[in-house]
Chains A and B, each alone.
Chain A
Amino acid sequence: MPRALILGGARTPFVKAGTAFAELDVLDLARAATAEALARTELDPGQVDEVIFGNVARPVAYHNLAREVVLSLSMPAGIPAFTVGLACASACVAITSAADHIVTGNADVVLAGGSESLTNVPLTLTPRLARALIAASQAKSLPAKAQSLAEVRLSDIAPVAPGIRETSTGLTMGESAERMAAMNGIARRDQDAWALGSHQRAAAGWDDGRLSAEVGPVYLDGHAVTDDNHIRRDSTLEKLGTLRPVFDREHGTITAGNASPLTDGAAAVVLASEARARTLGREPLASIRSYAYAAVDPADQLLIAPAYAIPIALRRAGLTLDDIDLFEMHEAFAAQVLSTLVVLEQNGVGRIPREKLNVMGGSIALGHPFGATGARVVLTLANEMKRRGARYGLASVCAAGGNGAAIVLERAA
C-alpha cells in the first residue's frame, strides 16, 4: 500500500486576536505559512499538484480561500485548490484529503494547511436587514425600494457576530466544556495544573528551539513578527487559581487561564507520494499511517469525539495505544483534554502517559486559530517524532458539532 509522506511545513507565529496580526486577514496569514512551507521543503511551486486549506470563519470575499492562496502567491494558475470545513479540525481534513489523493494516485504533491484570523471575523447582518436590502436591490422603483426598507428596525442595524453557540444545543463552547468537566469530575485545580504545564512546556519548546523551528516569521510593513505571543512564562497555580470562572460564574471551573485563547495564525504542511519524494531527494518527516473521524451527540459531551476517533484510527493502523510514542492533542480546554483521557481509559482504550502527551505544550499556551490548529498539531508531532526517532505518533483534534479527528503518523524511513 502506498503511503503519503509529510515532507515538512511551517506555521506563522500564533498571536492573540487583535494584537500583532490585527492588520492581516486570513489570506495574508495563509500566504505567509504557504510561502514558508514551500521554501522549507525547497519546492518549486510548479511541483505542487493541489492546495487544500481549512478555515472556519470565512470572509465573504474568499469563496475559496485555498485558491486565493495559489493566485496571490503567483503559484502556477493551473494548480487546483479547495477549502474545507470541519470547524476546529478543518486542517485535519485538508491533510487527510491530501493523503487520500496521494495514496489513490490522484496527486503526487499536495500542500495542505489551515488559516484563521479571529481578529477579522466576518460579521453578518440580521436576517431582517439582509432580506430588506436584497428586496430593495431588486425593487424597480424608488418608492418600492423605500417600502422594502420600511420594516427594518433600529436594532437590526447592528451586525451579528458569527455563532459561538452550538446550533443544536444553544450552549456555548465554554458551557459545553463546563458540562464535560462536571460529568467527568474534572477539578478546577487539575485543569489549572494542566494549563500551567502547557505554558511551561511551550516556553521550554521555544527556549530549546524545537518550537521556533516550526515557525516562520511574518513580515509586516517594515518589521517582522517572529514569536508566539500568548505563552505565559510567569504563570503559577496560585495566579491561575485567582481567575474567575467565565461561563458559569457560580459553580464553574473554566477560566480564561485554562482555556485556549482567540488566536490569529496559519500553518501548512507539504505531503508527497513516496515515489515523488524519492525523485525530489527529500527526506520526509513522517508518513500518514491511518486516520479516523468520529462524532457524538453535541447534547452529550460536545468535545469528546476524539476519544472515539482515536481507537478507530488505532484499529485501522493495527496498533494499540501503548504502541504510540508521542501524542499531540488539541487543547480547546484543559477540561476537554482531561475528559478525553478519562473516557479513553473508561472505554478500555488505554492510558496516555503525561510525558508522551503535548510535550511542547498545546493550544492553551500556543493559541488556537481554529482553521489552522489541525495542521499545527500534525506539524509539531511530525517534527518531534523525527527529532526523537519515534516510531508512531498520534494527533487528535476536537471540533464543534460533536466531531473529532485522529491521525496516526509513522516514522517514514
Chain B
Amino acid sequence: MIASADRVAPPSTAARPSVTFVPPDESGVARIVIDRPDDRVNALDVRVLEDLAAAIAAARVASPRGLVVASAKPTQFVAGADLDMLRGGSQADAEGASRAMQRVLDDLAALPFTTVAAINGPAIGGGLEIALACDVRIMADAPNARVGLTETRLGLLPAAGGTQRLPRLIGLPRALDMILTGRQLAPRRALQAGVVDEVVHPAVLLRAATDHALRDRKRRAPGGRSLAERAATWLAPARAFALRRARAQTLAETRGLYPAPLKALDAVATGLTKGMPSGLEAEARAFGELATGETARNLIALAMLTLRQRKAALAGLGAPRAIANVGVVGLGFMGSGIAQAAAAGGLRVRARDRDAAAVAKGLSTIRQLTTDAARKGVFDRRDAARIVGRVSGGDDLTGFANADLVIEAVFEELGTKRRVIEELERVVRTDTVIASNTSALPIGEIARGARAPERIVGMHFFSPVHKMPLLEIVRPAGADPDAVATAVAAANALGKTPIVVNDGPGFYTTRVLSTMIGEAFVMLGEGVSMEAIDRAMTTFGWPVGPLQLVDEVGLEVAGHAGETVARARGIAGPSIVNALVAEGFKGKHRGGGFYRYEGKRRTPNPRVAELLKAAPGPVTEDLAERLTLVFVNEATRCLEEEILRSPGEGDLGAVLGLGFPPYLGGPFRYADALRQTIVTSLERLAAAHGERLAPTEALRSRRPFFGL
C-alpha cells in the first residue's frame, strides 16, 4: 500500500537516505538497509558512506540482540565504489576517502552485538568490505551473486579495510589470490573459501541472516580453514615465505608495470606483521598514491568505457531485432566457440558443417568448452547441461529458416564465403541478419552479388572465442542500420564488448595489428633478431611478441591478413611469411614458423635469417617504442579515415582484442598523455626508416582525442 502511494507522489530523493536503520522487531534483530536512491545498483559514494555511519550509530544506541546488514535492491548487494568519486581529486583527498571508509567499517566491526551481512547479489570491492566488517556472512544462491575484491584490476587496492580483514578471515594464501587477481567467487566457491558462512536460497536469505544474528556469537577471525593456511597467516616464518612467493609471482606477471598488486601485497603484509592499525594506515596511503596515478586512471577509464559500451555501441544505429535463434555455419574451432558463446548467452543454436563427422566434432568441442567453463565455476553443472541442450546441428541448412541471425564462420576465402551466403539467402527469412566472421575480408566484397546485401554485416570474433572479450562489428556501406544494431545486440547477448567499425581491408583491429607486425618484419630485414623484438614487446606490456603471435595465429591466416592490409595501404607485403609457408612452416602446431617448437622449448627458426639474407646488427633503437608507435599511428589513421567511430572504441578494440598494454589505457589515451613525445619520435622514425612512419594529421593537430 505504501508502495502505491509512493508511486503517486514520489518523495524527493534528497529526503530519502541511502541507508536506513530499521529498529529491532519482536525477535530483537535490527536491520541496516542499503538502498541508493535513483539507481539500479548500490555503489558506495559519499552519501552512502555518511548514511551508513549514521545508521551504525543508531544501531549502537538501539543496542539490539543482533543486526542484519542487507540491500533493498533485488539481487544486488553493493557492487563496489562509485568510480566517479575518484575523479579529479588529489592524493590527500583519495587517502582521506579511504580513511573515512575505514573508520565507518571499524565502527561497524566494533558493534557489541552479532552482525550479519545478507548478501543477495554481487558484493564486490567496497560491498564485500562492508560484509567483511560484519561477524557473519550469508549469501544467496542467486545466479549473479559474487564476492570479490576487484580493485587491483582497476589499478587500485581495497581501501576500506579489505586488505586487512580478508586475510584474517580466510587466511593469507586465499586472500592474496583474491586480492591480487581480483577473482570473483560464486556462492559455492565463496563458501568453500570461507568468505561466507552459509549459502541459502534467495527466498530464505533474510530469515537465515536473522537466525544467525540471534544465534551466533562474536568471534575472532580464524585466519584460514586448514592448519597450513593459519600458519601462513599467523606464523612469521611461514608468512614471510608465502609473501615472498606471492611477490615473485606478481612481479613476473605484472612485469613491474602495474603497481597496484604490489602495494596491496605490502598493505596485507604490514597489517599481519605490525598489526591492523599499521595495516590500515598502509592501505590508505597506498590508495592515495594509486588513485592519483596514471595506471589507475587509465584502467578505470577502460573499465568505464567497457561498462558504457553495451549501450554506447548502439548509438547512431537502428533498432536491434529480437534474437532467440542463431544459425552458425562452420563448426571449426571458431564456429564451435561462437556457437558455445551464443548458447551460453541463452540463445538457441542450429549449426551446420559439411558432413555428420564434422558436426559431431564441433558439437563435442562445444560440450568440452562448456564442461571446462563449468569446472572453472563460470556456471554450475545444470546450467552447463542446459547450454549444451540449446545447440543442435546437421549437415544441411535444416532448421535455419527459423534463425534470427546467422553467423558464418567458414574458411576465409571470398568464393567460399559468397557460396555460403548464396545458400543461406535461399532458406532464411527476409528479416534474418547474416553475419560473416572474418578477420580481414571486406564485408562489402563478401556481400557483393547477394540478393539482399544490406542485411549482411561483419562480426569479427577473436580466438579463442570463449576467452576473448571483444567483438568487432563491421558495417559495410549501405548496411541496414537495424541489421548492424542486431549484430551489436547479439554481441551483448554473447557477453562480448562490441565495437562498431566501418568496412575496409582489415577493418580496424586487423589493420593496426597487421601494420605493426609488418613493421616487425621490416625490423627483421634490418637485421634485428626476432627474440629481441618479441622480448622488447612483452617487457613493454604486450602479452606476446608480434612474431610469436604470428606463429600462434598461423602463418597462412596472418599472411593473408597482412597481404590484404598491405595492398590497401600501398606498403610492402609480408613476403617473409609467404616464403616460410612455401617451405612448410605454417605455425606453432603446424611445423613451426618464425620459431621452432620442441616440447616446451622455443628456438628461432634459422631459415628466417637465411631467407631474409639480413646481416645481424646491433639493436640501436627502442624496438617496443617503434612498434607501439606504428600501432598508435595506424589507429589514429583509422579514426581519420572514419573506419573508427570514436577514440573510445579504438582503445577498447586495441586493449580487449589485440592486447595493447592496458596500463596505457589504449592507443588514443596513450597519445593524449604523451602527444608531443609521440609526434617527435614518429618524425625521427620516419626520417630513419621511411615516410610510412610519419605521424598522422590527427596526431600532429594536438587536439586531444578525449575531451575533459
Residue of B with least CB distance to A43: B402
Stretch at the interface among A218-226, A258-266, A393-401: A218-226
User: Which of B325, B387, B400 has the largest number of chain A CB atoms within 10 A?
Assistant: B325
- Closest Cβ of chain A to B401, distance in Å, is 4
The 8 Å CB contact of A72, one of B385, B395, B398, B401, is B385
Residue of A with least CB distance to B385: A72
Bound Cα distance from A43 to B398, whole angstroms: 11
Bound Cα distance from A224 to B354, whole angstroms: 13
Cβ–Cβ contact A74 & B390, under 8 A: yes
The 8 Å CB contact of A217, one of B348, B386, B394, is B394
Bound Cα distance from A172 to B14, whole angstroms: 83
Cβ–Cβ contact A224 & B364, under 8 A: no
Cβ–Cβ contact A40 & B360, under 8 A: no
Say yes or no: A44-B325 contact (C-beta < 8 A), given A74-B389, A217-B394, A219-B393: yes
Bound Cα distance from A72 to B367, whole angstroms: 14
Bound Cα distance from A73 to B386, whole angstroms: 7
Cβ–Cβ contact B356 & A42, under 8 A: no
- Closest Cβ of chain B to A398, distance in Å, is 33
B399 close to A (CB within 8 Å):
yes
Bound Cα distance from A38 to B392, whole angstroms: 10
Bound Cα distance from A309 to B132, whole angstroms: 73
A91 close to B (CB within 8 Å):
no
A36 close to B (CB within 8 Å):
yes
**Chain B residues whose C-beta falls within 8 Å of the C-beta of A222 in the assembled complex:** 360-361, 364
**Chain A residues whose C-beta falls within 8 Å of the C-beta of B579 in the assembled complex:** none
B347-372 residues with Cβ-Cβ distance < 8 A to A are 348, 350, 356-357, 359-361, 363-364, 367
B72 close to A (CB within 8 Å):
no
- Closest Cβ of chain B to A251, distance in Å, is 47
Cβ–Cβ contact B389 & A31, under 8 A: yes
The 8 Å CB contact of A40, one of B359, B386, B395, B398, is B398
The 8 Å CB contact of A73, one of B389, B393, B402, is B389
Say yes or no: A217-B356 contact (C-beta < 8 A), given A40-B398, A44-B402: yes
**Chain A residues whose C-beta falls within 8 Å of the C-beta of B393 in the assembled complex:** 219
**Chain B residues whose C-beta falls within 8 Å of the C-beta of A219 in the assembled complex:** 356, 359-360, 363-364, 393
Bound Cα distance from A35 to B325, whole angstroms: 13
Residues 314-352 of chain B, each 1 if its beta carbon lies under 8 Å from chain A, else 0: 000000000011000000000000000000000010100
Residues 16-51 of chain A, each 1 if its beta carbon lies under 8 Å from chain B, else 0: 000000000000000100011011101111100000
- Closest Cβ of chain A to B431, distance in Å, is 14
Bound Cα distance from A221 to B388, whole angstroms: 13
B394-438 residues with Cβ-Cβ distance < 8 A to A are 394-395, 398-402
A216 close to B (CB within 8 Å):
yes
The 8 Å CB contact of B399, one of A39, A71, A73, is A39
Residue of B with least CB distance to A46: B324
The 8 Å CB contact of B360, one of A39, A42, A74, A223, is A223
**Chain A residues whose C-beta falls within 8 Å of the C-beta of B386 in the assembled complex:** 71-72, 74
The 8 Å CB contact of A39, one of B361, B387, B398, is B398
Residue of A with least CB distance to B343: A74
**Chain B residues whose C-beta falls within 8 Å of the C-beta of A39 in the assembled complex:** 350, 392, 394, 398-399, 402
The 8 Å CB contact of B359, one of A73, A74, A217, is A217
**Chain A residues whose C-beta falls within 8 Å of the C-beta of B360 in the assembled complex:** 217, 219-224
Residue of A with least CB distance to B404: A44
**Chain B residues whose C-beta falls within 8 Å of the C-beta of A46 in the assembled complex:** 324
- Closest Cβ of chain A to B335, distance in Å, is 15
User: Which of A43, A71, A219 has the largest number of chain B CB atoms within 10 A?
Assistant: A219
Residues 57-93 of chain A, each 1 if its beta carbon lies under 8 Å from chain B, else 0: 0000000000000011110000000000000000000
Residues 141-167 of chain A, each 1 if its beta carbon lies under 8 Å from chain B, else 0: 000000000000000000000000000
Residue of A with least CB distance to B355: A224
Bound Cα distance from A112 to B467, whole angstroms: 40
- Closest Cβ of chain A to B328, distance in Å, is 13
Bound Cα distance from A222 to B392, whole angstroms: 14
Residue of A with least CB distance to B387: A74
B479-522 residues with Cβ-Cβ distance < 8 A to A are none
Residue of B with least CB distance to A44: B402
Bound Cα distance from A40 to B392, whole angstroms: 12
Cβ–Cβ contact A221 & B367, under 8 A: yes
Bound Cα distance from A221 to B359, whole angstroms: 11
**Chain B residues whose C-beta falls within 8 Å of the C-beta of A71 in the assembled complex:** 386
Say yes or no: A40-B402 contact (C-beta < 8 A), given A219-B360, A224-B360: no
- Closest Cβ of chain B to A82, distance in Å, is 20
**Chain A residues whose C-beta falls within 8 Å of the C-beta of B400 in the assembled complex:** 42
**Chain A residues whose C-beta falls within 8 Å of the C-beta of B324 in the assembled complex:** 44, 46
Bound Cα distance from A42 to B393, whole angstroms: 13
Bound Cα distance from A216 to B356, whole angstroms: 10
Residue of B with least CB distance to A281: B401
- Closest Cβ of chain B to A292, distance in Å, is 34
Cβ–Cβ contact A45 & B392, under 8 A: no
Bound Cα distance from A224 to B356, whole angstroms: 6
Residues 211-253 of chain A, each 1 if its beta carbon lies under 8 Å from chain B, else 0: 0000011011111101000000000000000000000000000
**Chain B residues whose C-beta falls within 8 Å of the C-beta of A216 in the assembled complex:** 394
Bound Cα distance from A166 to B350, whole angstroms: 44
**Chain A residues whose C-beta falls within 8 Å of the C-beta of B356 in the assembled complex:** 217, 219, 224, 226
- Closest Cβ of chain B to A215, distance in Å, is 11
Cβ–Cβ contact A40 & B389, under 8 A: no
**Chain B residues whose C-beta falls within 8 Å of the C-beta of A221 in the assembled complex:** 360, 364, 367
- Closest Cβ of chain A to B409, distance in Å, is 18
Bound Cα distance from A38 to B325, whole angstroms: 12
User: Which of A38, A42, A220 has the largest number of chain B CB atoms within 10 A?
Assistant: A42
**Chain A residues whose C-beta falls within 8 Å of the C-beta of B359 in the assembled complex:** 217, 219, 224
Bound Cα distance from A380 to B568, whole angstroms: 57
Residue of A with least CB distance to B390: A74
Bound Cα distance from A258 to B616, whole angstroms: 81
Cβ–Cβ contact B392 & A224, under 8 A: no
**Chain A residues whose C-beta falls within 8 Å of the C-beta of B363 in the assembled complex:** 219
A-B pairs with beta carbons under 8 Å apart, 13 shown: A39-B394, A39-B402, A40-B399, A72-B386, A74-B348, A216-B394, A217-B394, A219-B356, A219-B360, A222-B361, A223-B360, A224-B357, A224-B359
Apart from A45-B348, A74-B348, A74-B390: 16 A-B pairs, beta carbons within 8 A: A38-B399, A39-B394, A39-B398, A40-B398, A42-B400, A44-B325, A44-B348, A217-B356, A219-B356, A219-B359, A219-B363, A219-B393, A222-B364, A223-B357, A224-B356, A226-B356
* Interfacial residues, chain A to chain B (CB-CB below 8 A): 31, 35-36, 38-40, 42-46, 71-74, 216-217, 219-224, 226
